[in-house]
Structure 1
Amino acid sequence: MSLFKLALVVLLLVSHSASAATGRAADQTPTSEAESAALSTPAHVPPVPLMWRVSDGDNAIYLLGSFHLLKQDDYPVSADIDQAFAAASRVVFEVAPEQLDAPDTGEMFLAAAGYDDGRTLPDVLSPKLYEKLRRLLARQGSAIAQVDGYEPWFVNLSLLLGLAQSLEFRPDQGLDRYLIERAKAAGKPTGGLETLKDQLDALDATPLQEQTVGLREFLDRPQEMPGLLAELHQAWRDGDVEELDGLTRVDMREKTPETYRLLNVERNDRWIPALRAMLDGDDEDVMVVVGALHLLGDDGVVEKLQAAGYQVERVCSACEVGSEVETDAL
């Protein structure tokens, strides 16, 4: 997996806390009017939700796969999400909203992105790759000194967020942010499956070799990057489990296995006891909103909960295959 593609996957793996910090490190990547038009989606078509209902007989949790940066055209949400939200007594996210909105969130993110051994970006990138990055940032009106103190995962995530925002994607329009605000307005309690520190520790622990392996792809062919983002976004909008799985999880598992383990497998495993407690010790329904990648494949929480004996079904009125369990596609 290229580093750019890894950054795309982060949009399906970690909460929108990234946006609190990365905007400081890099500006937007220019795109043509034709590219922007090609990435627009008709506003009247709600995205097909990536949502599963997991139950044990007396209550249910609705697992909803988020995309952490979206456009205005991605709203309104589907009636399936509206109904699940109405049924839920509370809404749980990867990280509790009060932590995401804390004044020191950005500073925590920047601290996790820095080096703890005195190195800087020129120490971990080849001179040729570093020069390409310098030229790209210079064309955007930014100085490379702004990112010298940060690890490659953060630099590339900054480039991605700059590109995404130039194409009208916004972190404040992500599905999780939308549901945070909706829960607040409805007076529904909220919570988190992990702390912000847990999430940042996982990002920070990814190996430098896996962080840097594909940066050249971004710098050599920046004109291809909007298309890659559009492809991932469209797969999420279509609720296409197989396509999204192939674009993200399968490739990540094969080419950056340690990053896959840290960002996906280990976090999923840590969440399972909390999800089971919602089912075993409660009689009220709960909506759980996490990055979409956490719901895919045999390492995903959907299949893990089905293997534990819970009843699982895809909630998708728009799906041609109906509402039968679709875990074979995961």
Structure 2
Amino acid sequence: MQVTKALLASLLAVASAASAAVGGPVGAVQAVVEPAAHVPPVPLLWKVSDGDNALYLLGSFHLLKDGDYPLSADIDRAFAAAEKVVFEIPPEALLDPTTGQRFLEAAAYDDDRGLSDVLSPRMREQLQQLIARQGGTIAQFEGYEPWFVNLSLLMGLSQSLGFSAEQGLDRHLMARAEAAGKPTAGLETFDDQLRALDATPMDEQVIGLAEFIDRPRDMPGVLAKLHQAWRAGDIERLDQLTRVEMLEQTPETYRIVNVERNEAWLPKLQAMLDDYTGDDMLVVVGALHLLGEDGVVAMLRDEGYAVERICSACEVAVVDD
């Protein structure tokens, strides 16, 4: 299951844009929706300071449920303190009417191959059976690369489990920023995210899809574990389930989807600290981007900024112990 979890992590890392274009055309399984949780998730929230202003870094889960709200008071305070809210991509990019078409164009092959050419006969038959159970045919995916098929299956699965991209933390805070009249911005463009997805190696795409279609009934549990680790604010567990397994099992995907984008964001984050006086900002990105030595939290700490985790629930837990 390691590759499957790594692929899920990589897809969730870019789902802020992808979910705007892929509405879950195929469901991988039918599942019972879990009861709503009533305890606010423990936030993956850090405060980065340089003496005259602060940057709040918040780790998002792009697919959430009604029961994941309301949010922690820590997030509410960071949001209130921020003069500006920054996301992976600017909110207006999700409303662009060309989003869907551009997404499909990026998912298409740039040569004369099709899905049947990159999958083994056994994999193709398994995928056909999986899609047929949901009333579809493999023909609808023939022109698209495995990462797109994997993402389509993931979005369908997440919907059957009660998750929604519209309820994702980034989408929720985009709406709050608009309602509060706070300026917003993005660290990259929609096309940047598409290029990251499309640049992942074909062999790693196929491996990830094989894991999904070999064990479709295991996937709800995989997604549930990721969600539970995020809700618990469990950095070590989430790091193991996402970053570590992606690095070990799909190293090129890890480099392209995570490391290269983090490195591209770093100077922009530094500018928010160095070029502004008194204006605090809230930056909301996929939780994967904040974890480990390649994460932007560690990168900013290495640049000499003061970094602290903001987690009232963690402090209470320590006192209770």
**How would you bin the TM-score normalised by the shorter chain?**
over 0.9
Measured in 2, the distance between the counterparts of 1:225 and 1:197 equals 29
Distance 1:4 1:95, change over 3 A: same
- Number of aligned residue pairs: give it: 317
Partner of 1:328: none
Q: Conserved in 1, the CA contact under 8 Å of 2:115 and 2:144?
A: yes
Q: Conserved in 2, the CA contact under 8 Å of 1:15 and 1:95?
A: no
Partner of 2:268: 274
Deviation (angstroms), 1:11: 4.9
The percent of aligned pairs where both chains have the same amino acid is 64
Measured in 2, the distance between the counterparts of 1:137 and 1:15 equals 21
Measured in 2, the distance between the counterparts of 1:214 and 1:297 equals 22
Partner of 2:27: 28
Deviation (angstroms), 1:7: 3.8
Residue among 265, 275, 297 paired with 2:292: 297
Q: Over residues 85-122 of structure 1, what are the superposed CA-to-partner deviations in whole Å (9 max), with x where a residue is unaligned? A: 00000000000111121111111111111101111000
Q: Over residues 153-191 of structure 1, what are the superposed CA-to-partner deviations in whole Å (9 max), with x where a residue is unaligned? A: 110111011000001100100000000000000000000
Residue among 55, 67, 71 paired with 1:77: 71
Deviation (angstroms), 1:63: 0.3
Partner of 2:282: 287
Q: Which amino acid aligns with 1:17?
A: A
Residue among 279, 301, 308 paired with 1:306: 301
Q: 1:315 and 2:314 equivalent?
A: no
Q: Which amino acid aligns with 1:140?
A: Q
Question: Normalising by the residue count of structure 1, what TM-score does the alignment of the two structures yield?
Answer: 0.92
Q: Over residues 19-77 of structure 1, what are the superposed CA-to-partner deviations in whole Å (9 max), with x where a residue is unaligned? A: 233236x32233343xx33xx342x2000000100000110000000000100000001
Partner of 1:146: 140
Distance 1:2 1:140, change over 3 A: farther
Q: Conserved in 2, the CA contact under 8 Å of 1:3 and 1:211?
A: no
Distance 1:22 1:291, change over 3 A: same
Unaligned 5+ runs, structure 2:
none
Measured in 1, the distance between the counterparts of 2:45 and 2:12 equals 14
Partner of 1:170: 164
Q: Conserved in 2, the CA contact under 8 Å of 1:7 and 1:160?
A: no
Measured in 2, the distance between the counterparts of 1:15 and 1:59 equals 30
Measured in 2, the distance between the counterparts of 1:229 and 1:212 equals 20
Q: Conserved in 1, the CA contact under 8 Å of 2:6 and 2:245?
A: no
Q: Conserved in 2, the CA contact under 8 Å of 1:93 and 1:190?
A: yes
RMSD: 1.6
Q: Conserved in 1, the CA contact under 8 Å of 2:31 and 2:160?
A: no
Measured in 2, the distance between the counterparts of 1:151 and 1:20 equals 18
Deviation (angstroms), 1:144: 1.0
Residue among 153, 161, 181 paired with 1:159: 153
Partner of 1:97: 91
Give the 3-state SS of the residue equivalent to 1:288 in structure 2: strand
Measured in 2, the distance between the counterparts of 1:322 and 1:286 equals 28
Q: Conserved in 2, the CA contact under 8 Å of 1:156 and 1:215?
A: yes
Give the 3-state SS of the residue equivalent to 1:191 in structure 2: strand
Measured in 2, the distance between the counterparts of 1:111 and 1:216 equals 23
Give the 3-state SS of the residue equivalent to 2:18 in structure 1: helix
Q: Which amino acid aligns with 1:263?
A: V
Deviation (angstroms), 1:143: 1.4
Q: Conserved in 2, the CA contact under 8 Å of 1:3 and 1:212?
A: no
Measured in 2, the distance between the counterparts of 1:256 and 1:272 equals 23
Q: Which amino acid aligns with 1:30?
A: V
Give the 3-state SS of the residue equivalent to 2:85 in structure 1: strand
What aligned pairs does 1:35-46 form with structure 2 within 5 A after superposition?
Answer: 36-37=33-34, 40-42=35-37, 44-46=38-40
Deviation (angstroms), 1:12: 4.0
Partner of 2:110: 116
Q: Conserved in 2, the CA contact under 8 Å of 1:11 and 1:291?
A: no
Residue among 210, 232, 255 paired with 2:249: 255
Deviation (angstroms), 1:9: 0.6
Partner of 1:233: 227
Distance 1:3 1:253, change over 3 A: closer
Q: Over residues 194-218 of structure 1, what are the superposed CA-to-partner deviations in whole Å (9 max), with x where a residue is unaligned? A: 1111111111000000111142332
Deviation (angstroms), 1:2: 5.5
